[in-house]
Amino acid sequence: MQISIARTIVVRSLAVLGILLWSAASLFAQNEINVPQNTEIAVGQRLTVAVIGTLDVGGSIEVTFRYDPSVMRIVGANGGDGYGLRCFPLDVLENSVESASSAVFTVRCPFSVSIANDTLVTLDIEGVGGEDTVGFLRTDRVVANGLELTNVAFTTGTVIRTGGVTARQVVKEGITGNYPNPFASRTRIVYVMDADGPVKFIVRNAQGRLVQELATMDALAGENYLDYEQIAWQVAGGVYILQMTTDAGTYYHMMTVMK
Q: Which amino acid belongs to residue 248?
A: A
pLDDT of res. 22: 46
Per-residue pLDDT reduced to its tens digit, 145-199: 999 999 999 999 999 988 755 544 456 788 888 888 888 888 889 899 988 999 9
Mean pLDDT over each residue of the chain, to the nearest integer: 83
The answer, as to whether pTM is greater than 0.95, is no
Which pLDDT band, with edges at 50, 70 and 90, does 134 fall under? confident
User: Does residue 208 or residue 135 have the better pLDDT?
Assistant: 135
Q: What pLDDT was estimated at residue 234?
A: 66
Residue 11: its pLDDT value, please?
42
User: CA separation (Å) from 134 to 71, 100, 101, 124, 138?
Assistant: 7, 14, 11, 18, 14
pLDDT given at position 171? 60
Q: State which CATH number among 3.30.300.30, 2.60.40.680, 3.40.50.1820, 3.30.1130.10 fits the domain covering 29-162.
A: 2.60.40.680
Neighbour-count burial for 74-110, b at 16+ CB within 10 Å, e otherwise: bebbbbeeebbbbbeebeeeebbbebbbbbbbbbbbe
- Residues composing the chain: 259
Name the pLDDT band for 12 (thresholds 50, 70, 90).
low
The mean pLDDT of 72-87, rounded to a whole number, is: 92
Q: Do domains 29-162 and 174-257 have the same CATH topology?
A: yes
More confident residue, 9 or 85: 85
Judge contact between 219 and 199, C-beta under 8 A.
Answer: yes
pLDDT higher than 90, residue 8? no
CATH of domain 174-257: 2.60.40.1930
pLDDT at 208 over 70: yes
Domain boundaries, the chain: 29-162, 174-257
So what's the pLDDT on residue 117? 94
Residue by residue, DSSP assigns 109-146 as: EEEE--EEEEEEEEEEEEE---S-SEEEEEEEEEEETT
Q: Which residues pair with 232 in a beta bridge?
A: none
Q: Return d(Cα 176, Cα 156) in angstroms, integer.
A: 26
**Which tens digits make up the pLDDT trace of 47-64?**
999 999 999 999 999 999
pLDDT (average), residues 101-122: 93
